[in-house]
Amino acid sequence: MNQIAIRTSQNVVIEYELATLRERAFAFFIDLLAILMVYVVATFFLLAKIVGNLGSGMLEGALYSLVPLALFMGYHLFSEISMHGQTWGKRAMGLRVVRLDGQEAGLSDYLLRAVFHMVDTLFSGGILAALAISSSHHNQRLGDMTANTTVIRLKPSLGFQLGDILRIDSIDSYQVTYPQVQELAEQDMILIKNAVARYKAHRNKAHELAVQELSAHMQQLLDLDTLPPDPVSFLNTLVRDYIVLTR
């Protein structure tokens, strides 16, 4: 599974798994079904009435040719804006659009993606999108490249969810060690647990160094005077504290 490390505006590096071509294709087909449903409703209940009032066969043909394009582009644009980087297809597949520089994607980014969607998928039958995603370093189609975005998986393949990470028998009796950890995001905790899991599964220098660097970064982020001697224990404690404080 290809991964990407994105530095957020809070200067926190978060590692995401890139969405695969297959996942993005399934999301796209779900979106096509949603667009088709809207198109059918518009055709039978709205467009026919408007065209009937205008009484122009040429105008009718023009409207029928423009409505699918407008729906296709408008659906992707307004869905990603209102759902913060998701469409109904992406939400169903657990995917989301993110910027590579860690900034929040904005209107211009989503507009570029929607415009190039016409070329990537609609006009080329999806061939251009498939070729670009398969060959690019960050699994990007042309719309992603122009907007500096990509599509990531919200749930890591390791399948960690905070509720399943650690079972605390008695929250009332648990003593929180680092209360400031509640200011972090849930994705940060999943990142920590994944890093520890990889280290335990593959005890090599690279994963050991990653755990040590992550511990040092957490020390700075939480403004701790000293770094605990055992980085793995320290990171696990952060996750426990976060669960207790936020659940």
Mean pLDDT along residues 169-181: 75
Q: Torsion over CA of 37, 23, 193 and 219, rounded to 10 degrees?
A: -80
Domain boundary among 96, 131, 153: 153
Tell me the average pLDDT of the chain.
83
CA dihedral (77, 83, 86, 89) positive or negative: negative
For the stretch 25-54, pLDDT in tens is 999 999 999 999 988 887 776 655 655 555
Residue 208 has pLDDT above 80, yes or no: yes
Cβ neighbours for 46, distance < 8 A, ≥ 6 positions apart = none
Give dist(CA 247, CA 245) in Å, integer. Answer: 6
Shared-domain flag, residues 128 and 167: no
Residues 146 and 203 in one domain: no
Alpha carbon distance 112, 171 (integer Å): 48
Give the per-residue pLDDT at 169.
Answer: 46
Does one domain contain both 130 and 66? yes
Q: Is the pLDDT of residue 152 over 90?
A: yes
12-16, 47-51, 101-105: lowest mean pLDDT where? 47-51
Name 129's Cβ contacts closer than 8 Å, sequence gap at least 6. 24, 120, 121, 141, 142
pLDDT of residue 199: 83
Q: Identify whether residues 131 and 15 lie together within a single domain.
A: yes
Record the pTM.
Answer: 0.63
Structure confidence at residue 59 (pLDDT): 60
State yes or no: pLDDT of 234 exceeds 70: yes
List the domain range (segments joined by +) for residue 61.
3-153
* pLDDT over threshold 80, residue 61: no
Is the domain of 211 the same as that of 110?
no
- Evaluate if residue 190 carries a pLDDT over 90: no
Tokens linked to 183? 């200011």
- In one-letter notation, the amino acid at residue 174 is Y
Kindly report the three-state secondary structure assignment for every residue of the chain: CCEEEEECCCCCEEEEEECCHHHHHHHHHHHHHHHHHHHHHHHHHHHHHHHHHHCCHHHHHHHHHHHHHHHHHHHHHHHHHHCCCCCHHHHHHCEEEEECCCCCCCHHHHHHHHHHHHHHHHCCCCHHHHHHHHHCCCCCCHHHHHHCEEEEECCCCCCCCHHHHCCCCCCCCCCCCCHHHHHCCHHHHHHHHHHHHHHHHCCCHHHHHHHHHHHHHHHHHCCCCCCCCCHHHHHHHHHHHHHHHHC
Q: What is the pLDDT of residue 96?
A: 94
Indicate if 141 and 166 belong to the same structural domain.
no
- Domain check: are 108 and 23 in the same one? yes
Contact 50, 63 (CB under 8 A): yes
Domain count, the chain: 2
Q: Based on the domain organization, do 233 and 136 belong to the same domain?
A: no
Backbone angles phi, psi at 32, to 5 degrees: -60, -40
Specify whether 228 is located in the same domain as 178.
yes
Least confident interval from 16-20, 118-122, 169-173: 169-173
pLDDT of residue 162 exceeding 70: no
